[in-house]
Amino acid sequence: MNHNKNLLVELFVEELPPKALRKLGDAFAGVLRDQLVAQGLAGGGSVLTAFASPRRLAAHVTHIASQAADKAVSQKLMPVAVGLDASGGATPALLKKLTALGADASAVAGLKRAQDGKAEALFYESTVKGATLAEGLQKALAEAIAKLPIPKVMSYQLETRCELPGWSSVSFVRPAHGLVALHGADIVDVEALGLASGRDTHGHRFEAKVDPVVLRDADSYARQLADEGAVIAGFDARRGEIARQLGAAAANVGGGAKPIEDDALLDEVTALVERPNVLTCTFEEEFLAVPQECLILTMKANQKYFPLVDAQDKLTNKFLVVSNITPDDASAVIQGNERVVRPRLADAKFFFDQDRKKTLALRVESLGKVVYHNKLGTQGERVERVMRIAQAIAAKLGDAKLGQQAVQAAQLAKADLVTDMVGEFPELQGTMGRYYALHDGLDAAVADAIEDHYKPRFAGDTLPRGNVGIVVALADKLETLVGMFGIGNLPTGDRDPFALRRHALGVVRMLVERALPLHFHELTRLAFQAFGPLLAKDPSVELDEFLIERLKGYLKDTGYSVPEVDAAVYARKLTEWSSLPKRLAAVRAFAALPEAPALAAANKRIGNILKKSPESADAPVTEALLQEPAEKALHAAMQQIVPTADARFDAGDYTASLQSLAALRAPVDAFFDGVMVNAEQADLRLNRLGLLKSLHESMNRVAQLERLAS
């Protein structure tokens, strides 16, 4: 009889790498379930629950059969002409094939014939017995282990068994010490990593009530581990409990205190503890004189603590520790953590005090000793290029003061790379530059630009807060893009070691979101000029295409369709991207009009005609040569409608401009129904081409409407 019960599989291991734990847990459970489904042991209604703690990977799957149903299989053997001789008897080749399948000559009469392509083939139909759960789980377990996204494999020796001579070694993410496989209350006999399955697991290293924890059945796993083993086995459940305790501890501190929000840190801490216990600790207030970014980073990165900030997001001298033990008296644990964090904070204070003894301006010279790239020189040379690009951009914007501040900020923007603080915490580059610039008495706009020139650092990050920061950020990113494109260091597939896609997206966002009156292709060329003779190849055209692709991706991510984006981006003579949001809104409004499909199709048709007729390039329109009623009507309609559309375009009302053109639908349709464009008479042909060219240019000022044609 086939019994459906719930299944529990657990690998008990030594402490797993915390940053990979969630992925390991999800992958182990997911592949195990998928393999059971593929073998017919689990169905679509089976529910998967993944468990992952520092010392275990486990999966609970509902409705697992003890044996899969038998399956009818039809196997193609060979063409009839090969398998049967002239008299219809089996050839040696056919008999050999049947023997390999466990059949004999008696099966020949039962073979099916069916058309296979152009020839008729023989098929052997049989019933394959469904896999038992032990067979299927053994295969599923092997597959789940093989497909784990292990960051780094380690090899270790199995525990010696007296009956086994010599040593046996196993490769896995961490040494494994236990395997549980329960179907309901029954043990499923499987092996993995040199371990035989059973029902025993282990709880918390120090606080489990019993050891081992003997599991009653598959469904009691999480409950028994919690009650007897002092372990919250589920990653999400443990993460939720930590978040709850962090909030409660912050509320007890009072004053609107709240823990720093950091999902990555919360995930990592969840992967470090099995039974979380949040404790509140304190450090000396004198350390608050150090920039809070330094203190927060050292507490999070080095100690995995959660700093507490007040209602104004200002750092307090309290922090939260997620302990893995719950003693009756936690004072020793609290004091231990306070003692550990003090030297870290003292180091940060020492670095900050030492760094301020030397101005940023005096550090610039040291950048000449720091290699940026072996083909692009030092950081000092790079700074010179960024300064030249920043000055050129400011000149394009026509602001002399902006140019002075941007050049100063560009000169100092990388100086904090040679400070002690950034040497210890590279993540603080830019941030420390701003603090040191303010300490040196520099203008706030320059100091802000030093910090902001790295922005946007990631998807969704804010843009630089002022114009000086925008100019320096543009210059810095363009220098990187031109330099890397110029030496052929282009992104390929998933590889982008110099983050060129991110830099390009930053350029796109600044030009669009800040509505800057700058031509992107002029920017790439002036950036190239800053390199002087260093780059033999001008990568501007290639880089322009790269930027356009990032632009299109960015606009699509804002909710516009591919045709809408392409129509706006490829508008006639579009150079500044500042107008794109308004153009896109106009395209969407136009596309909703009943006349839009016909006009888009006509626009595409006109474009094709003009491409095939280069003679139309300078063809003027002469009213006297308009003969057919339809072409006269189109010309008259254009005389009335196009000036209105142009006026609205020049006023920046792109939506109204496009909608004005909708009135041209009827005369355009009538023109193509009643006029032969390619007339034999040359002057008539050129006049009609000129009319179409004028229409095409007017229609494509806001957007390239043919992109909307289906």
**Comparing 12-16, 50-54, 75-79, which segment has the lowest mean pLDDT?**
75-79
Closest alpha carbon to 148 in 7, 17, 264: 17
**Comparing 87-101, 187-201, 291-305, 490-504, which segment has the lowest mean pLDDT?**
87-101
Closest alpha carbon to 258 in 312, 322, 325, 198: 312
**Comparing 77-81, 180-184, 249-253, 454-458, which segment has the lowest mean pLDDT?**
77-81
Q: What DSSP string runs through 172-235?
A: ESS-EEEEEEEETTEEP--EETTEE-BSEE---TTT-SSSSEE--SGGGHHHHHHHTT-----H
CB 176 within 8 A of CB 195: yes
Tell me the percentage of the chain whose pLDDT exceeds 90: 74
Pick from 27-41, 66-80, 161-175, 403-417 the range whose average pLDDT is largest.
403-417
For residue range 543-572, what is the model confidence (pLDDT) as tens digits? Answer: 999 999 999 999 999 999 999 999 999 998
pLDDT value, residue 321: 97
How buried is 694 (Cβ within 10 angstroms: 0-12 exposed, 13-18 middle, 19+ buried)? middle
Mean pLDDT of the region 640-653: 94
Residue 616 has pLDDT above 70, yes or no: no
Mean pLDDT of the region 199-219: 96
For residue range 361-404, what is the model confidence (pLDDT) as tens digits? Answer: 999 999 999 999 999 999 999 999 999 999 999 999 988 999 99
CB 308 within 8 A of CB 292: no
4 confidence band (pLDDT: 50, 70, 90):
confident
Residue 61 has pLDDT above 60, yes or no: yes
pLDDT value, residue 88: 82
Mean pLDDT of the region 41-69: 92
Architecture of domain 4-68+132-227: 2-Layer Sandwich (3.30)
Ordered by start, the domain boundaries in the chain are 4-68+132-227, 71-128, 235-355, 365-558, 579-708
Rounded-to-integer distance, Cα 401 and Cα 407, Å: 10
pLDDT value, residue 303: 92
pLDDT value, residue 1: 42
For residue range 322-334, what is the model confidence (pLDDT) as tens digits? Answer: 999 999 999 999 9
* Pairing state between β 306-309 and 258-259: antiparallel
Closest alpha carbon to 93 in 102, 105, 75: 105
Tell me the percentage of the chain whose pLDDT exceeds 70: 97
Residue 128 has pLDDT above 90, yes or no: no
164 confidence band (pLDDT: 50, 70, 90):
very low
Q: How far apart are the first and last CA of the chain?
A: 59
Alpha carbon of residue 471 to chain centroid? 27
579-708 shares the fold of 4-68+132-227: no
Alpha carbon of residue 43 to chain centroid? 32
Mean pLDDT of the region 274-291: 97
Residue 515 has pLDDT above 50, yes or no: yes
Mean pLDDT of the region 17-42: 93
In one letter, which amino acid is 74? Answer: S
Torsion angles phi and psi, residue 60, rounded to 5 = -115, 125
Residue 183 has pLDDT above 90, yes or no: yes
| Model pTM score | 0.81
State the sign of the Cα–Cα–Cα–Cα dihedral 301, 302, 306, 311.
Answer: negative
Closest alpha carbon to 646 in 580, 698, 576, 708: 698
Architecture of domain 365-558: Orthogonal Bundle (1.10)
Closest alpha carbon to 180 in 421, 394, 293, 13: 13
Rounded-to-integer distance, Cα 140 and Cα 28, Å: 10
The CATH number assigned to the domain with range 579-708 reads: 1.10.730
Residue 68 has pLDDT above 90, yes or no: no
Mean pLDDT of the region 515-531: 95
Rounded-to-integer distance, Cα 610 and Cα 322, Å: 71
Rounded-to-integer distance, Cα 668 and Cα 673, Å: 9
Residue 573 has pLDDT above 90, yes or no: no
**Comparing 228-242, 604-618, 687-701, which segment has the lowest mean pLDDT?**
604-618
